[in-house]
């Protein structure tokens, strides 16, 4: 079969795009607004884009209630800072709670029963129970092209430079991160998620 994304021809099935680019890591973004109020929201369009300097992005789509954009983007642009918290397997339900659409200024961290922990170089707090947190300085926002007829779903990509990393020592083994010690959660398609349960090593042909 062929799915025509230019016409959104469903062909008897749900839009497959996000079910095909998988698994996608989840960026659990914590920010504060100009009044110091905390916001916490997960983004499955998230990843690292550079190792030198260390850079990450998270992408937002559409509006948020009466707000012209998502709260995370608004806060990152206003304050110049954000934190990416890793979602471990045990935090899955709490992460899902923070997807709830709430008014601007409502603290989703409290809503999910999560305790904050202070960051070192940025003002937004991190999720205390998260095994890894990346402190980021906002760099820029890039507006994606609007799709005809779906202008209200325009996406934006928010970039940040990682300036500090918090790591739970319990997941460090022989100087490396032990992924299976905390099983990071990733997004699949539709309402499906997965955790990292299987890891293997494979050397490149030209590795010394």
The 10 Å CB-count burial string (b at 16+, else e) for 118-143 is ebeebbbbbbeebbbbbbbebbeeee
User: Nearest Cα to 106, choosing from 55, 12, 40?
Assistant: 40
Least confident of 6-20, 81-95, 110-124: 6-20
- Asked if residue 1 is part of any domain, the answer here is no
- Asked if residue 119 is part of any domain, the answer here is yes
Q: Is the pLDDT of residue 81 over 80?
A: yes
Number of domains present in the structure of the chain = 1
Segment 193-206 shows an average pLDDT of 93
Mean pLDDT computed over every residue of the chain: 92
- Asked if residue 9 is part of any domain, the answer here is no
Q: Is the pLDDT of residue 89 over 70?
A: yes
Please answer whether residues 122 and 38 qualify as being in contact, where contact means their C-beta atoms are separated by less than 8 angstroms.
no
Q: How long a stretch of residues is the chain?
A: 208
Q: Is the pLDDT of residue 65 over 70?
A: no
- Asked if residue 2 is part of any domain, the answer here is no
Kindly report, residue by residue over 90-120, the tens digit of the pLDDT: 999 999 999 998 999 999 999 999 999 999 9
Instruction: Identify the pLDDT of residue 186.
Output: 97
Segment 177-198 shows an average pLDDT of 95
% of the chain exceeding 70 in pLDDT: 95
Question: Where residue 148 falls among pLDDT bands split at 50, 70, 90?
Answer: confident
Instruction: Identify the pLDDT of residue 68.
Output: 66
- Asked if residue 54 is part of any domain, the answer here is yes
- Asked if residue 73 is part of any domain, the answer here is yes
Model pTM score:
0.93
Kindly report, residue by residue over 40-50, the tens digit of the pLDDT: 999 999 999 99
Instruction: Identify the pLDDT of residue 16.
Output: 87
What CA–CA distance (Å, rounded) separates 102 from 65? 9
Please answer whether residues 67 and 74 qualify as being in contact, where contact means their C-beta atoms are separated by less than 8 angstroms.
yes
**Domain boundaries, position 39:** 25-195
Domain CATH for 172 = 2.30.110.10
Beta strands in 86-146 (DSSP E): 116-117, 126-127, 132-143
- Asked if residue 15 is part of any domain, the answer here is no
In three-state secondary structure terms, 19 is helix
- Asked if residue 44 is part of any domain, the answer here is yes
- Using alpha carbons only, how large is the chain's radius of gyration in Å? 18
């Amino acid at each position: 079969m062929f799915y025509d994304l230019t016409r959104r021809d469903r062909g008897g099935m749900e839009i497959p795009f996000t079910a095909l680019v998988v698994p996608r890591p989840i960026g659990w973004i914590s920010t504060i607004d100009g009044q110091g109020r905390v916001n916490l929201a997960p983004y499955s369009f998230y990843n690292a884009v550079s190792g030198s300097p260390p850079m990450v992005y998270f992408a937002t789509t559409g509006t948020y209630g009466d707000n012209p954009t998502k709260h995370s983007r608004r806060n990152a642009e206003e304050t110049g800072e954000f934190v990416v918290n890793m979602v471990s397997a045990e935090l899955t339900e709490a992460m899902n709670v923070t997807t709830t659409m709430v008014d601007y200024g409502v603290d989703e961290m409290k809503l999910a029963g999560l305790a904050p922990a202070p960051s070192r170089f940025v003002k937004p707090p991190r999720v205390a129970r998260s095994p890894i947190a990346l402190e980021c300085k906002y760099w820029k926002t890039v507006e994606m092209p609007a799709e005809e007829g779906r202008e209200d779903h325009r996406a934006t990509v928010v970039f940040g430079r990682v300036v500090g990393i918090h790591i739970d020592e319990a997941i460090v083994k022989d100087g490396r991160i032990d992924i299976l010690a905390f099983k990071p959660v990733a997004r699949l398609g539709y309402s499906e998620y997965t955790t990292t349960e299987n890891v293997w090593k494979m050397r490149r042909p030209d590795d010394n």
